[in-house]
Structure 1
Amino acid sequence: MKAEALFQELKSYCIEHANPELVIKYSRYFKEGVYDAWGLSQAQMDAKKAELKKAGNLTVDLVFDTAPLLMKSGKYEETSFVLILLSLVKDKLQKADIKRIEKLFETGIRNWAHADYLGMFFLPELMKQDLMGKEDFRGWVTSPFKFQRRCVPVTFIKLLKTGVTYEELFTFLEPLMLDPEREVHQGMGWFLREAWKVNAGVTEAFLLKWKNTAPRLIFQYACEKMDKTNKARFRRAK
């Protein structure tokens, strides 16, 4: 199969199952205003994934050749299909393919949902396969693409119970404590909230260090599960 044929197959599937009512329903979850979608249900996406898996004709090169064609429109489901295709060939990926994955942030990862799928599910799998390690994310922290930066703390949530020291993780992520983008603040706050659940003492020491300089949204997320008295310790000094 050629990339153009796979692209046309997936786009035709999106057009066939388009549902404007679902677009309206799900758009409320995308406050940044970038939810341009066909309106496919999760069941429809899963059904097509199963069909693609059963066909068994995907190669790594075919997936990466098809990716820019799908991402060009900006339609939510078309980019989702890129991530689905990647998941179906993940066991065939090699170290050199990481650069091609990074390129996706330039061409089409434009919302939190796609970034968080990568951070929560796909990238941790690549770490299990030893295709990526913590140091491979060093350049991601300073990426010009905010959703690539967001992926780092979201992915590192999976490292919290692996024996890596919290001090090591916090030092690695520290540049993101002054990131200018709201979506990155959310990712950092989420990571710190999960870190606090496992090791409150070390996490609180890190939060106290940054309470007067880091964006408040990070603290809103990080302190979400604390009681009222403990939350008060992390208010910015007047």
Structure 2
Amino acid sequence: MNKIEQKHKQVIDFYIKNADKNVVKKLSRYFREGLDAYGCDRKKEEAQHNRWLKEWEEDMTTKDFLDFGDRLVATGKYEEAHCATYFILSGKNEFTPETFERIGKWLENGIQNWANTDALCMSVLSIFIFEKIVQPKDFSGWTSSPSKWKRRAIPVTFVEAIKKGHQADSYLKVIENLMEDPEEDVQKGIGTFLREVWKNDPEKAENFLLKWKEKCGRKIIHYATEKMSKTDRERFKRTKK
């Protein structure tokens, strides 16, 4: 058994020991497609994450944590995917474009719900944008991914950039390739992104929505316009045929 297998066993043993069906039942309400989870108290989990990282700091490199992350997300377990996100943050100072692509594969090879996706976007993938390791255009290849979670990751990551005051134009160019995506989970992410753009630049967001309102999914419109007045929202209804 190599060191990653040993550490994975530690992770599994911890979660089995601290599994709680009531926690799973409570969490499952937020996942319409179901949730594969152990059910662990979040505070207890976070404390254990910190202990693991301290214990492993001399033993695990960023590459090791990438390999470990591959293994963790492949199980499909909610908490193990959360571990992968938390652990890889310890190597953020060594992130490269290759790291970006490697982490992106987690969204095709195991991550299978909105919560794990969004946590990865907000805490990890956003770093690649903020530190200029990648550009918005580097997400373009993700728009054709067979995984709806990888496609959702694009607008959810971009939300963080807009919140930081980034100009929307380069992000909108990538989002255009997703505007006819049929998956509601992707549409919700896009709508949230456009709502954030609207807060900073209403004219730009509204012109973009007017361009797409006849073709894009309705969840995009719903989420993008929910902070507008009722009168303003009327402008983005589809034309009756």
Give 2:119's aligned residue. 117
Q: Which runs of 5+ in 2 are unaligned?
A: none
Greater shift after overlay, 145-154 or 58-67? 58-67
| Cα distance, 1:71–1:172 mapped onto 2, change above 3 Å | closer
Q: What residue identity is the alignment partner of 2:23? A: L
* Structure 2: distance between partners of 1:208 and 1:188: 15
| Cα distance, 1:174–1:183 mapped onto 2, change above 3 Å | same
TM-superposed deviation, 1:164:
4.9
2:182 pairs with one of 162, 180, 183: 180
Give 1:75's aligned residue. 77
Q: Give the conservation status (yes or no) of the 8 Å contact 2:136–2:170.
A: no
Q: Percent same amino acid among aligned pairs?
A: 38
* Structure 1: distance between partners of 2:117 and 2:142: 13
Q: Give the conservation status (yes or no) of the 8 Å contact 2:155–2:193.
A: yes
Q: Give the conservation status (yes or no) of the 8 Å contact 2:180–2:217.
A: yes
* Structure 2: distance between partners of 1:199 and 1:161: 12
| TM-score normalised by structure 2 residue count | 0.92
Q: How many residues align?
A: 237
| Cα distance, 1:211–1:95 mapped onto 2, change above 3 Å | closer
| Aligned-residue CA RMSD (Å) | 1.7
1:89 partner SS = helix
Matched, 1:193 2:205: no
Q: Give the conservation status (yes or no) of the 8 Å contact 1:58–1:89.
A: no
Give 2:100's aligned residue. 98
1:45 partner SS = helix
Q: Give the conservation status (yes or no) of the 8 Å contact 1:2–1:62.
A: no
2:229 pairs with one of 221, 227, 230: 227
Matched, 1:27 2:28: yes
Q: What residue identity is the alignment partner of 1:52? A: W
| TM-score normalised by structure 1 residue count | 0.93
Q: Which runs of 5+ in 1 are unaligned?
A: none
Give 2:219's aligned residue. 217
TM-superposed deviation, 1:58:
2.4
